[in-house]
A = this chain, B = another copy of it.
Amino acid sequence: HENGVACKDPAAVVAEDFLFGGLDKPGGKTSKRFGFTANQVQIPGLNTLGESHVHLDVVPGGVFPVHYHPRAAETALVLEGSVYFGFVSSYPDNKLYAKVLRKGDVFAVPQGLVHFLYNNGTAPATLYASLSSQNPGLVLLGNSLFAGALPDDLVAKTLLTDAHTVQTIKANFRRS
């Protein structure tokens, strides 16, 4: 056992334990709401290597909405299409570092910072993201604020808005 995953008998390890295939075609979990499909690379032999990878497809007009990884930095390569990609620095600056990325561009996001991408073109976009942890975690800012059980008045105070606006947005998150 390492990191909670049972280790295979070394004599039974085969090359397939180090392989993950099919990233040339969209696959994995699709979010109709946001317009993306994310396919996390699962390589049994990668346990303890301290990295993970995600293949991402975003339809025109789709976003990977504002989010962060609590335990990882990220480096993303655009494989196809074009995206507006960026991150926001910490409080108190909240400075935006963003670029339109095209095929062959790589962009880096420091550990734990809020980032996003946005397909504002007319063709599907595909990215390959490398994360500096086997277990990077994912927090979507919208879902964290509106899809869980945070009290309405706390969310209203956090966003300098009123409870009615919070309830309206929460209702949108409840719709599938």
Task: Return chain B residues, CB-CB under 8 Å to A102.
Answer: 21, 24
- Given A149-B95, A169-B161, A77 and B23 touching (CB < 8 A)? yes
Cβ of A63 within 8 Å of any chain B Cβ, yes or no, is yes
Q: Which of B75, B96, B130, B158 contacts A149 (CB 8 A)?
A: B96
Chain A 1-38 interface residues, beta-carbon cutoff 8 Å to B: 1-2, 4, 7, 13-25, 33-34
* In the complex, chain A residues 97-154 whose Cβ is within 8 Å of any chain B Cβ: 97-99, 101-114, 116, 118, 128, 130, 132, 137-151, 154
> Which of A's residues lie within 8 Å of B, judged by CB?
1-2, 4, 7, 13-25, 33-34, 41, 43, 45-46, 49-51, 53, 63, 65-71, 73, 75, 77, 79, 84, 86-88, 90-99, 101-114, 116, 118, 128, 130, 132, 137-151, 154-155, 157-161, 165, 168-169, 172-173
Task: Kindly list the 9 A-B residue pairs having the minimum CB-CB distance in the complex, ordered from nearest.
Answer: A70-B112, A24-B104, A94-B148, A65-B158, A160-B172, A23-B104, A96-B149, A15-B97, A130-B130
